[in-house]
Amino acid sequence: MASVSIIDVSPRDGLQNDARLIATKQKLKLVEQLVAAGVSKVEVTSFVRPDRVPQMADADEVLSAAVQIPKLEGIALVPNLKGYDRAKIYKPDEITWVSAASELFNQNNIGLSIEENLVQFNKVTTQAKADGISTCFAIAVSFGCPYEGDVPEERVVEIVGKAIEAGADRIGIADTIGIATPLQVERLMPKVLEIAQEIPVAIHLHDTRGLGLANAYSAYKAGIRIFETAVSGIGGCPFAPGAAGNLATEDLVYLFEQMDIDTGIHFEKILDVADYAASLSTNNPLGRIRHVEKREGIIK
């Protein structure tokens, strides 16, 4: 049977923009429930400035506890060298380093140019290899930027090549504002896979225009086997005005299940996790609707 890997990012990308501060123990309960449902890789937090992203102020507490959870491969997002120095203390399995395919987004998000960001990433990969920590180089706004508009495919591919030269263990291609179309995905992802060669490539999809699931299917047909999603479709980026939540993990699990593609995730259990995530987040009420449908036996 064919298989795919789904990385759930709800504790980080799903909650980071939520207006209500969520308790550390609730975030950890979400991570534990994800693992119990069969999600082996979870992006648990990010080491960003608390004054810019208050929801992630407890990053140290979350990661230090999460790495103790059995069967979890814990991922932490780090935006700079200082963030890496904080995260490495707790020995996550992987760190995600974010750049952007747009200069303006990069400046607004992390205060660096794309080239300056790559210089720092070179330093991080050297240190991470010595520390035994894998690195994912994620490229935000790969399909369109809220500040610059269209993003040339060639720019994304060029950045992928430079990230691989710097030593990235994984590449992430993100539709940060959720405006990609299946045709765009069909065009870009084979180019990324061609230059990445043996380096794994993931796609990270948001659902602003309701095309997240269609884009995931298009990515699968193009050869992508790693997907980043969030239960109940929660999420949003503080630096991407108008962006909606992530593609819902449970929706993607259902799609692949109906295609006889193994995700390793238990569908009924992930619905329960989606209910819990929806109870924490103010960004997406759809989880509660799913909860009612499931209990009435509409969702099988």
Catalytically annotated residues: 237
Secondary element (H or E) of residue 268 = helix 267-280
CB 16 within 8 A of CB 46: yes
CA angle 259–285–49, rounded 5-degree value:
95
CA distance 219 to 185: 6
DSSP for 99-125?
A: EESSHHHHHHHHSS-HHHHHHHHHHHH
Question: Distances in Å between the alpha carbon of 218 and those of 86, 126, 185?
Answer: 37, 35, 6
Q: What is the DSSP letter of 95?
A: E
What number of residues does the chain have?
Answer: 300
- Nearest-angstrom CA–CA distance, 46 and 58: 9
User: 87 and 136 in contact (C-beta within 8 Å)?
Assistant: no
The CA distance from 24 to 21, in Å, is 9
d(CA 39, CA 199): 21
Separation of alpha carbons 101 and 124, rounded Å: 19
> One-letter amino acid identity for 226?
I
